[in-house]
Structure 1
């Protein structure tokens, strides 16, 4: 059976678009629809026909091209039930715990509210790929626009529970700034130091820092380690509740 193909590319200023293609069925999925032009260019280059859009949340930089792509390709737009009134062109709603197939691609839905009230992430077990949009970034996480720290911490724990060899895809290329912040709050982490050097090299070469193995994120991303005593101690919050540590980390990152 041919392997699922995944292609990542830049949209807008720092959004990351992703196409997922099943060679056997010919189905092609776009994770969100940030901008029509780059998505069309990627489809043309690969000679793929768009069939589905998996929407993670309602922010405009993730749904801006929904309607134009739907009109051009007659795609099915799937998105979170909790935000259905805010997602242009939505055809089908899903929620955490749902599982479905698009051609030969198995998709599992994970509730990840916090950045928005109803955001979901999509996990493809067969491809060992997680599409976390603005819930989880490499070495960072999304701002809490519609949720609180406890809600987002619970969401990130759901993502953290996935296998280490899962490849993490995110909605934005924010890793360089996140890396500087992470090193500031956890300067003694040798694995983080290695990741920061890698990120700096990739950006100098004008290459994306994503995808990245989730296992590496579990050991280096401070927002996934709010319950780690070593991180709490390094951040000056030894023995504090993980939610309090997470909230303090997010507040510090807001002003970074």
Structure 2
């Protein structure tokens, strides 16, 4: 049974996050401290430095050889069930939409678990809960983010084709009214699977969080395979920025609300 002490631990863990969120919101909406350009600079600091190093800090300390495969399997099954439900909704419902299906999948499954999940799970379940959050975040960054980017690029290619077709049809109508000859350009075909895969790969390669998860996971494999710890100078260099990861991420989210 959950007692008041457990509730208090959760409140203690979560309130500081929302304090940072409200400070970010107030600094833009109420006090006008930051301009849009300065907000963009803060967001870039979070995206390129503090949040990736925050991910490296946690990912590098997991044990890939002792991962909870039941938990990962359950997480995968739940996401696949959501995908199936959204596909059925998009195909069978009159209000169904593939665009909204993609958005719904992203909102319901691809959470910012490291920023909010780590302090929450630590308060509720200790380091065991933190370990599960990190494992889920690693799988999310490596597998599900790739899947989402591929689907987004596929949708983008479809929108581009439809736009090109509409532009071509409109151009032909104008030419007919003016009495000019029509062009014979064809409608663009949908890009191939390998082209989309290449685009997704390029976007992942430019995503600092993808690098962070891969680097952290690679270090975790090496460190746990040969049983050595990260040098203190390296760990200190990561911690000096990663400790600001949670606060700056919540502050940045508050700025764009």
Instruction: Place the TM-score, normalised by the shorter chain, in its bin.
Output: under 0.3
Relative to total residues, which structure has the larger strand share, 1 or 2? 1
**Is the radius of gyration larger for structure 1 or structure 2?**
2
Relative to total residues, which structure has the larger helix share, 1 or 2? 2
TM-score after normalising by structure 2: 0.24
TM-score after normalising by structure 1: 0.24
